[in-house]
Structure 1
Amino acid sequence: MGTKVTLRHKPITNGRESLYLDFYPPIRCKATMKLVHKEYLGIYIYQNPQNEIQRDYNREMLYKAEAIRSVRVQSCINEEYGFLDKHKLKADFLDFFRSIALKKDPKWRMVYKHFEKFCGGKCSFGEVTVDLCRRFRDYLMTTRQLKFTNKKMKCNSAAGYFSTFRALLKIAYRDKLIRENVNDFLEKIEYEDTRREFLTLDELKRLADTPCNIPVLRHAAIFSCFTGLRISDILQLEWKHISQASDGGWWMRIRTEKTETEATLPISDEALEYCGQPGTGKVFKGLERSMTQHPLQKWIRTAGIERNITFHCFRHTFATLQIALGTDIFTVSKMLTHKNVSTTQIYAELVNEKKRESANRISLK
C-alpha cells in the first residue's frame, strides 16, 4: 500500500496553528533509520483570521504547505516504484560525500578534498555522470599532491583514491541518489608493482633492542610485527578488545578500519608484553599517527637500518616472517584479514625471492 500524505493543522499558542504532514503508513528517515509519522513544516497560520491581510497570509502559507505535500507524495511514489526523485538530483553531492568521509578513515577525507578541488566546490547528484567521473579519474592521474604541491601524485595513490571514490558511488547508487550504476562504465586505475619492504628477523631483533625516544611508538611497532595489524587498527585498539581464551592464551576481537572485517585473532604472550599493563581505554595511549613519520624514521636509522621502512612495512614483516618460518599461506591470510588468499600470495613470492638470493650466494666461480 502506498504512503498517504495528509496536511494537518495543530493549534498552538497566540491563536495560531502549526502545519505538519501526516504519513500513513509511516516512512523511514534515512538519516536516523526511524519510522516517521509526522513532519512539521515550520509554517504557521492564524486560527481565526481577523482581517483580509491575515486571510491572504493564510492562503499563501497553505499554498506553500500544499506544494511541499505534493513534493513528498511524489518522493514516496518514486521510492515505492524505483523512480529517481528529481528533487534528489538537485541535492548537494559534496555534502553527502563529506558526511560519508567523516565516518571513514583519513584516506576518504583526502579523496573528498581532491574531488572538492576538482569540481570547484559545487556538485549536485544530477551532475554525477559517467563523463564527470572519468574526468575525475584523469584528474587524479595528473594532479599534484595537496600537501606537497611541487610533487605529482603517485600512480598507486591515484589508484587507491579512485577506488575509494568508486566505493562512494556504490553507496550513492544503493541509496537511489544517482541515476545509474556509474561504476559499470568506469575503468579502475591500475596499481603499479612496488617493492614491499620488510625486516628480516635479525633486523627486527636489532630494532627491538634499539631505544626509541617515544616508547609507545616502539611498543606499537613491535606489536605490529607480532600481529600484522595496520596502524589504523592499532590506534583504535582498546583493552576491551583483548581477552583470555579458554586454553589460557589471549585473543583480540577487532573490526578492521580499512576493510571493515570482523576478526578474532590470537596474540602471543610476547606480543602482549608490548601492550603494557592491562587497563581501560586505548592500549597504546598517546600514540599519534604523526609519530609514524619523522620519529619512526629516526628510530629506524638509529638501529642501523638504511632502507625506506614505513610503519606499514611491519605488517609486511609479520607476513613474510610467518611464511618463511613455515606457517601456511591460508592461516597467514586469515591473520591478515585478507578477503582473498591471492592478496597474501604476494608475501609468499617475496619469501621465494629471498630463498633464491640465498641459494645464489654459494658459487665456485
Structure 2
Amino acid sequence: MEQSKRSTFKLLFYLKKNEPKKNGAVAIMGRITIDGKPATFSTKLEIQPDNWDLKHGRVSGKSNVAVNTNNKLDKVRVRIVKIYEEMMKDEGFATSQKVKLSFLGVGVMDDAVLKLFQKENQDFARMVAKGERSASTYAKYKKVYEHLAEFIKLRYHREDMAFRELNGDFIREFDFFLRIDKECTHNTVWVYTMPVIALAKLGVKNRLIRDNPFEDYEINMEETDRTYLLKEAVEKLMLLKPSKQRYELVKDLFIFSCFTGLSYIDIKKLKWSNIQSFFDGHQWIISRRKKSDVASNVRLMEIPKRIIEKYRGVTRNDFIFPVPSNSTCNKHIEKLIKEAEIVTEQKVTFHTARHTFATMFLTEGVPLESLSKMMGHKNISTTQIYAKITSQKISKDMDLVAPRFAAMENAFEAMQNENVAPEEIVMSGEELELAM
C-alpha cells in the first residue's frame, strides 16, 4: 500500500514528427509515465502538425476534424485513467508497461472480451462438426465476432479489451455502429447484439466482472410481417403434380413442415427415434429444436404420417428424410408455387412453411400456449407475433358470431320498416339546428 501512495501517474499526447506521411500528416502518440518510467503507444490517430496545440496536447481549433479527434483523445484518456485506477485498487500497484498492455489488449489479459468470444466460437465449431449445433448459427456468431473486433479497433483503437472496461455506453455504441457503419436493419441489430449481451452474462458467471454492464440496454425484435400460406393454398400445393419428379421430395418436406411446424434444420435432423407413441395413444414427434435446444413436441396428424411412411427405408441411416440443401429446397419451392398458381405478396421459402403452420393452426383455434409448446419457442412473446392473426381468422370468427345476432337483426329490420323516411329525419334535424 505504501507504494501505491507514492505512485505518480501522467498521460501525455504528442506528435511523431520524424515520420510524416505523404500528405504531411503525422501520428498522434501517447506516453504513460508512472513513477518516472514511460511507455509509449500509438493512438492510431493523425493530424497536420500545424493544427497541434503543444501546450495542451490537443488539436487546436473548432473544426469537425479537431472536435472529433479531441473527443477520441478524451476517450483514450478516460480508459487509460480507469485502467490505472483499477490496477491500483485491485493490486496496489501499477506500471506504465502494464497499463499500456492492458489498454492495447496485447494477449496479456485472461479476461479479454474477444479472447473469450473466440474460445466460445471454437467450442461451438466443434459441436457443429458433431452435428449438435447449426452451421448457420455458427456463421452468425463468426459475423458478430468480426463486427465486434472491427468496432473495438475503430472506436477504442486496440485489438481487445478487458471485461472490467465494459459499460452501458459500450453496447449502445456497438448498436449505433451496427446501424450506421454497417447499415444493419433493426432486427439484424437485435440478432447481433444478443450474443454480446450473452458474452457479458458469461463474464459474470465466470467472475470476470461482478455485474452485467448491459443491464439497462433494451432492444426488441420488430414484429415484421411473416410470409405464410392460407389453408387453401396449402391444399392447392398438396394436390399439385409437379412438372419434374425432383420437385416431389421438396413438396412433401414443405407440406410436412406446414403440418408439424418443424424448421428446415429440425426436419433434416429428424430421426426415427424421435417418433414415439405417447400417453394418448397417438404418435408424436419428440425432439429439441437445433436453434434453441428447447423441447418441441408435436402430435402427428394423418398427412405428415403418410409423408413419413412414403419415405420409410429410403435413407440408409436413422434419419427419416433425405433432405437436399436449403438453397435447393428454396429454388424448388419457388418453382412449385408458380406451378400451383399460388399468388403471394412476398417470396415463399422453406421457412414459410413454419409460419404457415403457426397461422393455419392458430386460425383453426389452437390456443397460443399450445402453439408455443409445439413450435419450441423459449417465450410465448415470440409466438404472439402470430397473434397479429390473418384476416381470414377474423372473418371466420365473425362468421361464427353472426348467426347469434340474427334475431336482433330481424327485430331491427322490422322496426326500420315502421320508422319515418330518412329524408324526413334529415329535415327534422336541420329544423332542430335552426331552432338552436
TM range (shorter): 0.5 to 0.7
* Corresponding residue of 1:285: 322
Most deviating of 86-95 and 196-205:
86-95
The alpha-carbon deviation at position 173 of structure 1 amounts to: 2.6
SS in 1 for 2:286: strand
Residue of structure 1 aligned with 2:223, choices 189, 193, 203: 193
* Corresponding residue of 2:376: 337
Q: Which amino acid aligns with 1:301?
A: K
1:141 is aligned to 2:179:
yes
* Corresponding residue of 1:93: 116
1:236 is aligned to 2:269:
yes
Check conservation: 1:97, 1:112, Cα contact below 8 A.
no
The alpha-carbon deviation at position 101 of structure 1 amounts to: 4.3
Q: Structure 1's 228 and 186: CA in aligned 2 closer, same or farther, altered over 3 A?
A: same
Question: What pairs with 1:344-355 in structure 2 (closer than 5 Å)?
Answer: 344-351=383-390, 354-355=393-394
- Structure 2 CA distance, aligned partners of 1:313 and 1:128? 43
- Structure 2 CA distance, aligned partners of 1:185 and 1:117? 22
1:209 is aligned to 2:242:
no
The CA RMSD measured in Å over matched residues stands at 3.2
SS in 1 for 2:299: strand
- Structure 2 CA distance, aligned partners of 1:292 and 1:196? 19
Q: Give the share of equivalent positions with the same residue, in percent.
A: 26
The alpha-carbon deviation at position 254 of structure 1 amounts to: 0.7
Check conservation: 2:164, 2:208, Cα contact below 8 A.
no
TM-score (norm 1): 0.63
Check conservation: 1:207, 1:300, Cα contact below 8 A.
yes
Check conservation: 2:363, 2:389, Cα contact below 8 A.
no
SS in 2 for 1:251: strand
Q: Structure 1's 269 and 236: CA in aligned 2 closer, same or farther, altered over 3 A?
A: same
Check conservation: 1:323, 1:351, Cα contact below 8 A.
no
Residue of structure 2 aligned with 1:325, choices 364, 379, 386: 364
Check conservation: 1:224, 1:318, Cα contact below 8 A.
yes
The alpha-carbon deviation at position 251 of structure 1 amounts to: 1.4
**Runs of 5+ unmatched residues, structure 1:** 1-85, 145-151, 361-365
Q: Which amino acid aligns with 1:287?
A: P
The alpha-carbon deviation at position 345 of structure 1 amounts to: 3.3
Residue of structure 1 aligned with 2:145, choices 115, 129, 143: 115
Q: Which structure has the larger Rg over C-alpha atoms?
A: 2
* Corresponding residue of 1:176: 207
Q: Which amino acid aligns with 1:333?
A: S
Show CA shifts across 1:71-116 (max 9, x none): xxxxxxxxxxxxxxx9522582342242254345323432432432
The alpha-carbon deviation at position 354 of structure 1 amounts to: 4.6
* Corresponding residue of 2:289: 256
Show CA shifts across 1:54-85 (max 9, x none): xxxxxxxxxxxxxxxxxxxxxxxxxxxxxxxx
Check conservation: 1:126, 1:178, Cα contact below 8 A.
yes
- Structure 1 CA distance, aligned partners of 2:380 and 2:264? 22
The alpha-carbon deviation at position 201 of structure 1 amounts to: 1.1
Check conservation: 1:155, 1:191, Cα contact below 8 A.
yes
Structure with the higher helix share, 1 or 2: 2
* Corresponding residue of 1:305: 342
The alpha-carbon deviation at position 225 of structure 1 amounts to: 0.4
The alpha-carbon deviation at position 124 of structure 1 amounts to: 4.7
- Structure 1 CA distance, aligned partners of 2:149 and 2:363? 48
1:154 is aligned to 2:154:
no
* Corresponding residue of 1:167: 198
The alpha-carbon deviation at position 248 of structure 1 amounts to: 4.4
- Structure 2 CA distance, aligned partners of 1:90 and 1:337? 34
The alpha-carbon deviation at position 246 of structure 1 amounts to: 6.1
